[in-house]
Structure 1
């Protein structure tokens, strides 16, 4: 492991930063470091800039899911959405986690909201246009959530067509957006099944640690069941390596094992550990606007280009 540089205040991200016993990297050339860890013989191709759009819609619905918590689902949803908006796409972020972390991460006081996606799912007459709210990112809107959504999982059990409730709720705005990203809760319960049932594809953030790797098999089994019973068109868009630290052998080995198992499903983009992401949560904005020149922002722009190219 490299020795961290002494702390020198400056406006740009440091090459190495420390926080107590845990080190976070925001490295110059971080994406190249991660790519160098790939010894599976994959050819690394430059992902082109996406062509501008002359019209918007219909939306491609992508569920961002992993039943393990703390792997970067919400961070990836926010920053991928912001990067897609930078490329001229109209994006809707759906906060489908009762913790409301996605809403909070965009500066919304979720506990103060009078209407959320819960009302859209459970109340007759609720209009999606009354609940969607703009964000500080041009071209990106939010369908917010809070703790009220936890009641929906119980109440939906007795509903007819309970697995399609979310699909019915967002259907009126599909023609308005280019991409809809659904931030799923860290479980494989009914809410997550709803997201998978209406999604065209699933993006799986995977922290580069052993226990995250073990949980992928359970998620794959759930995806297989959803494909067989609810949504035969559901596909895996890709696996995103998060919390990568090129200074540690463990994270390199985990990413390499994922590449060996899933091949080209693993995105070239790699999200390094960095103190910038907690800072963006406090600021209530994506890293693409909070620290636009940082490697974290560049990595999510690369991810956006890969998503649009697949």
Structure 2
């Protein structure tokens, strides 16, 4: 049966997610992890780990930033901190960070998360041979390519079934640079301001954009929602379903997580029906913020149409 990984923005939301039945909490600190709903500092993270473990659940900490020389030197100390906390797994995408993890022999299992680079079974198996216990498949990989991929992978994989899908990251502060160029006052460019960009002559596009310590992040117009496709996700044997609540606050995200937990359990029990899928869709529609829309992303795209 698939295990469900859910991001979290607070201890309060984490408790709601655990009550909803998620198997893993996913969190981290902006200095080391990418696109997190909240940056859990060293003073906050121990309580989150304790909360997960007291509930008999697990926690994965993001160490998947792209590290330049000035930041890679901080990774070993952070991994020691996570080791002392008895974190269950870390997600890592930078080979330099993996090298730090392994040369220091930190006893931390790692999920390989190279973002949109993880698109083939050969790449996944390469990192499996180099210590990865799982891999995060890029959300750009459609069903037609997931079928052969799942037939040849040697380690478990994780796939995004709900949430924001990043389409571009730059290490440069692109938004601040833009406002400086046009000489407009810019108070902040972080996620809370709700900035977005649109393609020329396409008013329906709504690419959310924000900046943090890792640079500028741009997201697809619609968030991913695979509730209508969960039968195929289940039949593929994907071992981890990831839920990303970056743009969904508090209890709303916990309600969505509960819908996916219910779906996972019904699929495993052989009791999943079209009516239950419709119920799940209603829960998602009721709890997804009004300024966001969802679809199945790349999942249903014909691989032959991708140019």
Q: TM-score range by the shorter chain?
A: 0.3 to 0.5
Higher relative contact order (CA 8 A, sep 6+): 1
Instruction: Tell me the TM-score normalised to structure 1 length.
Output: 0.33
Instruction: Tell me the TM-score normalised to structure 2 length.
Output: 0.34
